[in-house]
Amino acid sequence: MSTTTDSIEALAQREYKYGFVTDIEQEFAPPGLNEDIIRFISAKKNEPDWLLEWRLKAYRHWKKLYERGLEPKWAFLPYGYGPIDYQAISYFAAPKQRPQSLDEVDPELLRTYERLGIPLEEQKWLAGVAVDAVFDSVSVATTFQKELEKHGVIFCSFSEAVQKHPELVQKYLGSVVPHSDNFFAALNSAVFSDGSFVYVPKGVRCPMELSTYFRINAAQTGQFERTLIIADEGSYVSYMEGCTAPMRDENQLHAAVVELIALDDATIKYSTIQNWYPGDEEGRGGIYNFVTKRGKCLGRNSHISWTQVETGSAITWKYPSCILQGENSVGEFYSVALTNLKQQADTGTKMIHIGKNTKSTIVSKGISAGRGQNTYRGMVKIMKSAENARNYTQCDSLLIGDKCGAHTFPYIEVKNRTARMEHEASTSKIGEDQMFYCRQRGIGMEDAISLIVSGFCKEVFRELPMEFAVEAQKLLSVSLEGSVG
Amino acid sequence: MLEIKNLHVSVEGKKILKGFNLKVDAGEVHSIMGPNGSGKSTLASVLAGRDGYEVTEGQILYRGRDLFEMDPEERACEGVFMAFQYPVEIPGVGSIQFLTAALNAIRKHRGEEEFDAFEALKLFKDKLKQLQMSDEMLHRSVNEGFSGGEKKKNEIFQMAVLEPSLAVLDETDSGLDIDALRIVADGVNALRGPERAMLVITHYQRLLNYVVPDYVHVLVDGRIVRSGGMELALRLEEHGYSWAGERDPAGVAAARL
């Protein structure tokens, strides 16, 4: 009937420009999951006994859940997904050559990151961003470490932290997301490979943005990274992560765990741009992104802020959350989730108010195009001890075309009468009227959609660090490319 | 500039325009007056290229080109501007961002160099000054939370920036108080020029006291039933539309063909 709807519906293939594979010699663990594999991973990383024991405990827990068929099924995924064969996955893949410093990194790897827009040579970066590059199961390079050391900031791969700062790792690992937290967290705790570790000492404002760039390269592997960030009293750190993977017809599993700890008066800003391969328009291939992210505002006046822009993955299952334990602590969640093609996302947050005068803000923007299915799932829980807790939730959905879906499942649990809660929600279709208004002013359809969508996401984008905000805007336009004829 | 020949248009199967004819030359201001449901807004929508209007017969030539061959954005880039009766809100999209995108799309189409943010902002401020409008609306999202009057002023402002060849004003006077009406009318008058044609679509004669047209056409039931000068508008005000429809049926007086 109307040409706008027709052409919006013609949600064609978009180009996924990060879909290449790097040809590099890698070593793999044989496929399969058992105690030997875990011992193998732990030995590869030369880990202390306590960590191996911790992994094994997690593995045994996971095995129990697995045998009882307790893989979580509650996410709203109307297209479903194939059973994951955990024995067919290789749990460890690493480039054979292990560089000792940045100068020794395999040029092929450097070229890979260059193509991804992440040059690892320090001089090519805007001063002000340090990068940890994780390639399949290992960190291949971390930039600006020396510069950061001057301020006492530790920024390194998780494996390096285990060797150099075992006391910090042992104290905080699993303190926010215990190994028994959920099915995928248990799996991660058993087999996690690499990830980033950050410690910002008392009173230090981290002088640059820290970032980790995750890349899945090898086939038939999964990526199970573990990130741990500790902000000591009165410190501040802003951390960002990005992710991509090659195009393949098989699905690959990514099950990460991120733990944040903010002590008294500390602030952690954590930003994600997730652009894993989303699969094709028929839903073939793509990453299963099953991630547990949680921050604990342990100290008084501590502050944790999650900002995420999720455009990739075949399935996203992710709820970056805050435990607001310290008095006057603040938790924030700003999210843009876009599902195009046949992508499915079930994402949101949990805000657990424990301390007095704790505050949380949730702003979620879901965009559905193509046959994408987008679900917001959020929980706000006010415990009895949380006097004068406040929450503000805003949850908006935007539909492009008429074959996609938007769904909202908010849960609110209040055990203290002094709580103040606000919840606003809206669902709108990208208006034919808005489109026509733009076009009547000379703006073409794709530009008009991208303009309207960026307006819709503005409240979230302004929370991102500057470099990322520009990136996010571009990514959103690219992800919507082909969404008009 | 614009030639509409025997135009028949249906909306959802219902015939709205039934043999509409009009010729507009550069430098002229034509007013189309008519009662509710006569087809005024349909005419504006068809000129701008809105979806949902089926042209069953007839032709529109714009500068000698078939208008129906062009997408809405191409028409806009070729100089067709419509001031909307109900301008839409675009939340989160800044007015500056929006208008810069529009301006540059048109400049690019014409093969002109695009404006950078500073050049664009300077142009916007100059135009607002000329129109005696406040630049406060530049710092808000497009039409978001604007009053009816502000929205209409914003349309005139956009017209001033985009400098169209053919401006179609769709009931721009509706819902305006007398002060807003005067500002809007002054804006329209300031944009009159030998290179520009205007089509002022209105229900009431009120606006025409301020924007005096060269020609007035009366649209009843999908056809032009009378054409004349300003005196026609005044007689309409006095006698009502039924008078115009009765005395001169079948659109014989249709325009100056």
Q: Are B18 and B223 in contact (CB under 8 A)?
A: yes
B52–A1: do the CB atoms touch at under 8 Å? yes
Give the nearest partner residue to B73 out of A433, A443, A457, using CB atoms: A443
> Do the chains contact at B101 and A439, CB–CB below 8 Å?
no
For residue A455, give the nearest of B77, B88, B93 by CB distance.
B93
Q: Give pLDDT, residue A128.
A: 60
Q: Which of A180, A182, A216 is nearest to A90 (CA)?
A: A216
With b for 16 or more beta-carbon neighbours within 10 A and e for fewer, the B146-164 pattern comes to beebbbbbbbbbbbbbbbb
Contact flag A437-B101 (C-beta cutoff 8 Å): no
Asked if A434 reaches chain B (Cβ–Cβ under 8 Å), the answer is yes
Whether the CA torsion A432, A434, A436, A439 is positive or negative: it is negative
* Contact check, Cβ <8 Å, B73/A445: yes
Q: Report the complex ipTM.
A: 0.93
Q: How far is B49 from chain A (nearest CA, A)?
A: 8
Distance CA A398, CA A231 (A): 36
State the nearest Cα–Cα gap between B74 and chain A, in angstroms: 7
CB contact (8 A) between residue B90 and residue A452: yes
**pLDDT by residue (tens digit) across B48-105?**
999 999 999 999 999 999 999 999 999 999 999 999 999 999 999 999 999 999 999 9
Both tokens of residue B208?
A: 């025409």
- Contact: B88, A439; criterion CB under 8 Å: no
Which residues of chain B neighbour A4 with C-beta distances below 8 Å?
A: 51
Question: Rounded to a whole number, what is the distance in Å from the CA of B166 to chain A's nearest CA?
Answer: 13
Q: Give me the tens of pLDDT residue by residue for chain B, a chain 257 residues long.
A: 999 999 999 999 999 999 999 999 999 999 999 888 899 999 999 999 999 999 999 999 999 999 999 999 999 999 999 999 999 999 999 999 999 999 999 999 999 999 998 999 999 999 999 998 888 889 999 999 998 889 999 999 999 999 999 999 999 888 888 888 888 899 899 999 999 999 999 988 888 889 999 999 999 999 999 899 888 888 888 888 877 765 444 444 444 33
Do A61 and A178 meet the contact criterion of CB atoms below 8 Å apart? Answer: no
CB within 8 Å: B92 and A441? no
CB contact under 8 A, B158 and A447: no
Contact A442 B48 (CB under 8 A): no
Interface test with A, best of B10, B50, B73 (most A CBs within 10 A): B73
Q: Is B21 on the interface with A (CB under 8 A)?
A: no
Which helix (H) or strand (E) segment holds residue A240: the answer is: strand A236-244
Between chains, do B76 and A440 touch, taking CB under 8 Å as contact?
Answer: yes
**For chains A and B, what is the number of CB pairs under 8 angstroms?**
82
Mutate to test the interface with B, among A396, A435, A436, A463 (most CBs of B within 10 A): A436
Q: Which helix (H) or strand (E) holds A270?
A: strand A267-274
Interface membership of A431 toward B (CB under 8 Å)? yes
Three-state DSSP string of A24-43: CCEEECCCCCCHHHHHHHHH
Interchain CB distance below 8 Å, B91 and A444? no
Residue B2 and residue B81: Cα distance in Å, rounded?
13
According to the model, what pLDDT value does residue A9 have? 38
Residue of A nearest to B49 (CA): A440
Which residues in chain A touch residue B105, judged by CB atoms under 8 angstroms apart?
441-444, 447
Q: Which residues lie below 8 Å from residue A89, measured CB to CB, with a gap of 6+?
A: A31, A32, A33, A220, A221, A222, A253
Q: How far apart are CA B85 and CA B68, in angstroms?
A: 22
- Inform me whether the C-beta atom of residue B64 falls under 8 Å from chain A C-beta atoms: no
Q: Which of chain B's residues have a Cβ under 8 Å away from the Cβ of A6?
A: none
- Asked whether the CA dihedral A275, A277, A281, A282 is positive or negative, the reply is negative
Query: Chain A contact for B71, CB < 8 A?
Result: yes
Integer Cα distance of B220 and A354 in angstroms: 70
- Phi-psi group of A295: left, alpha or beta (phi > 0 → left; psi -120 to 50 → alpha; rest → beta): beta
Closest Cα to residue A174, out of A160, A159, A185? A185
Instruction: Report the alpha-carbon distance of residue A462 to residue A472 in Å, rounded.
Output: 11
- The answer to whether the CB atoms of A2 and B52 lie below 8 A apart is yes
Candidates A228, A225, A196; CA nearest to A131 is: A196
Are the Cβ atoms of B102 and A441 closer than 8 angstroms?
yes
Q: Is A443 within 8 Å of B102 when comparing Cβ atoms? A: yes
Q: What residues of chain A lie within 8 A of the CB of B76, using their CB?
A: 439-442
DSSP label at residue A101 = S
Cβ–Cβ gap B76/A439 under 8 Å? yes
The minimum CA-CA distance between B82 and chain A, rounded to whole Å, is 7
Q: Do B105 and A445 touch (CB under 8 A)?
A: no
CA distance B147 to chain A (A): 18
Low-confidence ranges of chain A (pLDDT < 50): 1-14, 126, 485
Q: Are the beta carbons of A451 and B97 separated by less than 8 Å?
A: yes
Q: Is the Cβ–Cβ distance between A221 and A90 less than 8 Å?
A: yes
Q: Could you write out the DSSP letters of every residue in B91-121?
A: EEEEHHHHHHHHHHHHHHHTTPPPP-HHHHH
Q: Identify the residue whose tokens are 């129990």.
A: A64
B45 touches chain A (CB under 8 A): no
Contact A58, A91 (CB under 8 A): no
Question: Which residue of chain A comes nearest to B87, CA vs CA?
Answer: A437
Q: Chain A within 8 Å of B162 (Cβ-Cβ)?
A: yes
The residue among B11, B53, B55, B90 with the most chain A CBs within 10 A of its CB, best to mutate, is B90
Closest CA to A472 of A371, A335, A343: A335
* Angle of CA points A169, A173, A174, to nearest 5°: 170
Task: State how far Cα A40 lies from the chain centre.
Answer: 27
